[in-house]
A and B are shown apart, each in its own frame.
Chain A
Amino acid sequence: MTLTVQSISKRYDGAAVLQDASITIRDGEFVALLGPSGSGKTTLLNVISGLVQPDAGQLLLDGRDITALPAGARRFGMVFQSYALFRHMTVAQNIGFGLQVLPRGDRLDKAGRAAKVRELLAMIEMPDLGDRYPAQLSGGQQQRVAMARALAIDPALLLLDEPFSALDAKVRHSLRGSVRDLQRRVGVAAILVTHDQAEAFEVADRIAVMNGGRIEQIGTPEELRAAPATPFVQDFLTAA
C-alpha cells in the first residue's frame, strides 16, 4: 500500500488552509503531521479520510485515483480526537459497527463478526468489557476502543487525529507505546496528527512539519533535528 498525496489545496471562505501539500506514505510506515493549531494538519487528514473534498490536487492509492471516492469506500480507519464512540452502543457493538454496515454480500456472518470483535477486544486487552457502554470506560479505554473500531474494517490506512490529547500525561505516555505497537502488529500504515513534537518524535518513522497550510519539511526525526529546512522548523523544534 502506498498513498500519494499530490499538491492538495483547500480554501475555506477564501482563506487558504492547505496549499500545495504533497507527501507519500509507504507500506507499514508511521507518519506524523506535526504543526501548531491552524497549520492545516487536521484538514489534510480529513482530505485523506474523504470527509473533506480538496479544491485541487489528487490522492493516489497504489496509483489509483481515489480523490473522488467517498469516505466509506476508502476503507481508511479513523480515530477521532474525541473518539466519537457511539454512546448508545456497547463496546462490542461499537467495534463491530464497520462489519455490520457492509452490504449483505460482503458481510461476515453473525458468528464471524462476533469472533472478530472478540479478537479485537483481546488485542486491546479489554476482553471482558464488550458489554460496557462508552460512558462506563476510562479515557484510555475509550481511546483503545476507538482504535479497535477503526482496525475492525481491516483498513488500508490508519488515520489518528490527536488521539492522545484528551488524556492525562501518564496515560498518554503509555498509550503512545501501545498504539505504535498495535500498528506494527497489524502492519498497517498510519498517519498521526499532533501538535506535540515530543509525541511525534517518539512514535513516528517520518514527520511532516506543517505551517500555514504548507508542509515545510518531511523527514525522519534525526533528519529534522540535524538539518531543519526552514527557520520555522528550526524554531518550532527548539521552542518545545
Chain B
Amino acid sequence: MTATPVSPWRLPRRRRSPLPGLGLTLGVSLVFVSLIVLLPLLGLGWQLAQLGWSDYLWVMSDARTLASLRVTLTAAAAATLVNGVFGLLLAWVLVRYRFPGRAALDALVDLPFALPTAVAGIALVALYGQNGWVGSLLAPLGLQVAYSWSGIVIAMVFTSVPFAVRAIQPLIEELDPAEEAAALTLGASRGQIFRTITLPQLMPGILTGTGLSFVRSLGEFGAVIFIAGNIPYETEIASLLIMIRLDEFDYPAAAAIAGTMLGLSLVLLVAINLAQTRLYRRYERGA
C-alpha cells in the first residue's frame, strides 16, 4: 500500500457560512446596537448598582414617587384601552372601506411619529385648554381636560395610536372574507362572526398594538408635560419626576425610578412576545 501524499490543497479549511458577509454585518450591527441601546442602559444599570436594596426601596416608597407611578400607570392603561378600541376601528376602516381621502387618512396615522411630541403637547393644550376650541366647549359642562389626568391620557393616546393601528392593520388585510361567508351560511350572526372568527384572528395584532402602545405611553414625556399641569402627587408623571430628580442631582433616585419603569416595560414586552408566539404556533405553523 502506498501512502498518498496529502496535498496542501486538501487541508481542512475554515468552514464558510453559505451567506457571505455574516461576520461584517453582524459586527456592524452589534457595534451599532451597543452604542445606541446597550451603552445608555449599562449606564443606568451602573447607577442602579450603586444603590443598595434599602435605598431603592426608600426611593420607591416615597409618596411622590408612588403617586407619579400611579398617575403614569393608570393614564397609560386608559390610553391603551382607548387605542385598542379606536385603533381597531381605524385600522378596520382603512382596510375594509374605499372612500375619498383614505390614502390621506392612512398617512395621517403616522403623523404622531413624525411630529415632535412637545409640539403635539402644545397643540393639545391649545385645543383642550380653557380657551381652546374643544376645551371651551367642555368647560361649561364642568369637564377639564388640560392640566388634569384626562389630559395626560389624551396626550398618551395621541403619541401611541400608530402602534395600535399599524399592528392590527396587516391582520385585517389577511382576514379571508370567505371565512366570514362560510360562518354566515352556517347560521352565525354578524355579532357571532365578529366574536368567534374576526376578533380571535386579530388578537395577535391587538396584543402587540396595545402592548407597544402601553409601553410607549409609560415613557412618553414631551407631549404629556405640556398638558399635564405637572402638579406633584396629582398630575406628575414618572418620567417628569426622573427629570426633576436629575435636576436636583439626585442621581440614585432618578436611576431607581428609571430602572423600575424600564424593568416594567421589559417584562411587558417579553410577556407580549411569549403570548404572541403561543397564539401563532397554534394555527400558523403546521406540525
Chain A residues in the interface with B (C-beta under 8 A): 49-51, 70-78, 80-82, 84-89, 97-98, 100-102, 132-137, 149-150, 152-153, 159
A72 touches B189 (CB 8 A): yes
Which single member of B181, B188, B283, B287 contacts A87 (CB below 8 Å)?
B283
A113 to B274, CA, bound (A): 33
CB distance from B72 to the nearest CB of A (A): 35
* CB neighbours of B282 from chain A (8 A): 88, 133
* CB neighbours of B192 from chain A (8 A): 101
A191 to B5, CA, bound (A): 77
Whether, in the assembled complex, B116 has its beta carbon less than 8 Å from a beta carbon of chain A, the answer is no
CB distance from A113 to the nearest CB of B (A): 13
Given the contacts A72-B184, A86-B197, A88-B200, A135 and B178 also touching, CB distance less than 8 Å:
no
A-B contact pairs, 16 of them (CB 8 A): A49-B185, A51-B185, A71-B181, A72-B185, A72-B189, A78-B185, A82-B178, A85-B179, A87-B179, A87-B283, A97-B196, A98-B186, A101-B188, A137-B286, A150-B185, A150-B186
How many A-B residue pairs have C-beta atoms within 8 angstroms? Tell me.
Answer: 87
A135 touches B187 (CB 8 A): no
B178 touches A136 (CB 8 A): no
CB distance from B167 to the nearest CB of A (A): 17
- Interface on chain B toward A: helix, strand, loop, or mixed SS? helix
**Most A-side CB within 10 Å, residue of B182, B188, B200, B286:** B182
A72 touches B187 (CB 8 A): yes
CB distance from A96 to the nearest CB of B (A): 10
* CB neighbours of B189 from chain A (8 A): 72, 101
CB proximity to A under 8 Å, residues B141-172: none
CB proximity to A under 8 Å, residues B270-287: 282-287
Which single member of B186, B196, B197, B286 contacts A72 (CB below 8 Å)?
B186
B188 touches A97 (CB 8 A): yes
Which single member of B176, B181, B286 contacts A51 (CB below 8 Å)?
B181
A135 touches B286 (CB 8 A): yes
Cβ-closest chain A residue relative to B184: A71
* CB neighbours of A86 from chain B (8 A): 179, 182-183, 197
CB distance from A35 to the nearest CB of B (A): 21
Whether, in the assembled complex, B201 has its beta carbon less than 8 Å from a beta carbon of chain A, the answer is yes
CB distance from A72 to the nearest CB of B (A): 4
* CB neighbours of B182 from chain A (8 A): 78, 80, 84-86, 149
* CB neighbours of B197 from chain A (8 A): 86
Cβ-closest chain A residue relative to B176: A84
CB distance from B186 to the nearest CB of A (A): 4
Cβ-closest chain A residue relative to B287: A136
A84 touches B286 (CB 8 A): no
Given the contacts A78-B182, A80-B181, A84-B176, A101 and B187 also touching, CB distance less than 8 Å:
yes
Which single member of B183, B187, B284, B287 contacts A75 (CB below 8 Å)?
B187
* CB neighbours of B178 from chain A (8 A): 80-82, 84
* CB neighbours of B181 from chain A (8 A): 51, 71, 78, 80, 84
Cβ-closest chain A residue relative to B178: A84
